[in-house]
Structures are given as structure tokens and as C-alpha cells.
Amino acid sequence: MLKLYYNPGSCSLASHAALEEAGLEYQVELVDLRKEVQYSSEYRQKNPWARIPALQIGDEILTENVAILHYIADLVPERELLPRSGLEHARGLEWLALLSSTVHVAFRPIFRPNRFAATDDAQRDVLSTGLGTLRSVLTLLDERLGDGPYALGDRFSFCDLYLFVFILWSRRPVLDGKLPPLHRLAAFGDRLAARPSIASALKQEDLAWPGEVTS
Ligand SMILES: N[C@@H](CCC(=O)N[C@@H](CS)C(=O)NCC(=O)O)C(=O)O
């Protein structure tokens, strides 16, 4: 039995779309971040870090998108949803690590300035400094993606589902008119949004592309 703990439009969307892409049977359970359900003692027993996604696999809980995406890809090895060896494997890991450790965190000062500073003035400062960093990160990401069509070039992989999440985030109203033109990421987002696995996960999460979502 697989059960994904998720919040609509959060980074858990990557794992959700991956379950769809793999064609596996699974259940979902909403952890409503707006209601701070991640801090409930019930959820903390599942994931003491109070974060989503978490994937329940029988009696075990697996956290971190990077690990969950690998686990799902390994359940359907014939689909080769992540490269399995050599430099291609390392390139896949490189993308996933970049998205998790650099791109995801670049959004945090924008979405959650209160986690970085206490006063309104200081939070405004965090926001405007964070915006500068986010602009550079997304500009580099746009260049890194190139003309694709996928993160790994000609080959679709779970890296693309994860990348899609951050393109969706770049469309949030709080960032409206504040980002440089990101033509390659925008075209990639349009392509990926039409992919059945992403379309289905978005629909189940009651989101549309370009979506307005809450963190
Ligand atoms: N590196 C983790 C990040 C998980 C994470 O930060 N999730 C966010 C949603 S995108 C969360 O649960 N936030 C709740 C909070 O910060 O209280 C992963 O990719 O799984």
C-alpha cells in the first residue's frame, strides 16, 4: 500500500505526478499547510520534520522528494523514469539535488519571510533580498534547461516533474511582474502541463495551469 501525504501545489506535486506517471495504485491524504496540519502530533508521528511530501509504504514512511522519486522509479524499472547508471544517472541526481537544495530554498524567503526575520521591516528586507536571489537562480535554471525538451535533453525523467513544480511556483501572484523573462522555463511548463501525469495530479489537487496556489 502506498499513501502520499501532500498539500495542493506544494513540492509534493512532484511525487504525486510521479505516482501517476508510474501508473501505480496509491492513496493520498491532504496535510493542509494553511491550517498547519503538518504540526499536528498525529502527522509529526509520521514525519517529525513536519514537512510534506511523505510516502507511506506499508508500515514505513519515506520523506524527501529526491528519495521518493527514486523509490517510485525503482518500482517500475522497465519505464526508466530515472537513469540507472553512469553519467546519465549522475546527471539525474545533479538535477534533483539542484532543485531540492538550491531552487526550492530560493523561494522560501518569498513565501515565508516570517521564518527568517521577526519584524515587518526585517521581513520586507528578507523579501527583497530573496527576490534578487530568486531572479538569479531562475535565470540560471532557464539557461541550464536550454531547449530541452527535457531536463536530461531528449529523454523524459522524474527530474521534469520536479522542475515543473518550481515553474508553477514562479506563476504565483506574489511574483507577478517581478521575475525576468524565462522563455525556456515557460515553454517547458506549457509542454509539461499537458502531460497526462501532471494534468491528472493537478486536477486531483484542484489546480489549473498556470495555477494560483497557496503554500
Ligand atoms: N526537501 C524537502 C522539502 C519539503 C518541504 O519543505 N515541504 C514544504 C512544502 S513545499 C512543507 O512541508 N512546508 C511546511 C512548513 O514549512 O511548515 C522535499 O523536497 O521533500
pLDDT in tens, 147-197: 889 999 999 999 999 999 999 999 999 999 999 999 999 999 999 999 999
Cβ proximity of 134 and 106 under 8 Å: yes
pLDDT in tens, 104-146: 999 999 999 999 999 999 999 999 999 999 999 999 999 999 9
Instruction: Give the pocket of ligand 1 (CB within 6 Å).
Output: 10-11, 33, 38, 50-53, 64-65, 100
Domains and CATH numbers, the chain: 2-79 (3.40.30.10), 86-195 (1.20.1050.10)
Find out whether 96 and 159 touch, Cβ atoms under 8 Å: yes
Max CA-CA distance within the chain? 53
Q: All 3 cell numbers of residue 208?
A: 489549473
Ligand 1 mean position, distance from CA 30 (Å): 14
Q: How many angstroms separate the alpha carbon of residue 138 from the centre of ligand 1?
A: 19
Kindly state the average pLDDT of the residues 41-51: 97
Report whether 57 contacts 2 (CB < 8 A).
yes
pLDDT at 213 over 60: no
Alpha carbon of 23 to ligand 1 centroid (Å) = 25
Question: Which atom of ligand 1 is nearest the CA belonging to 53?
Answer: 20
183 C-alpha to ligand 1 centroid (Å): 27
Q: To the nearest 10°, report the CA torsion of 38, 81, 185, 143.
A: 110
Q: How far apart are CA 130 and CA 35, in angstroms?
A: 25
Can you give the pTM of this predicted structure? 0.96
Q: What is the pLDDT of residue 210?
A: 82
Q: At which residue does the C-alpha cell 503554500 appear?
A: 215
Pick the closest to residue 15 from 78, 73, 59, 58 (CA basis). 73
DSSP 8-state symbol, 10: S
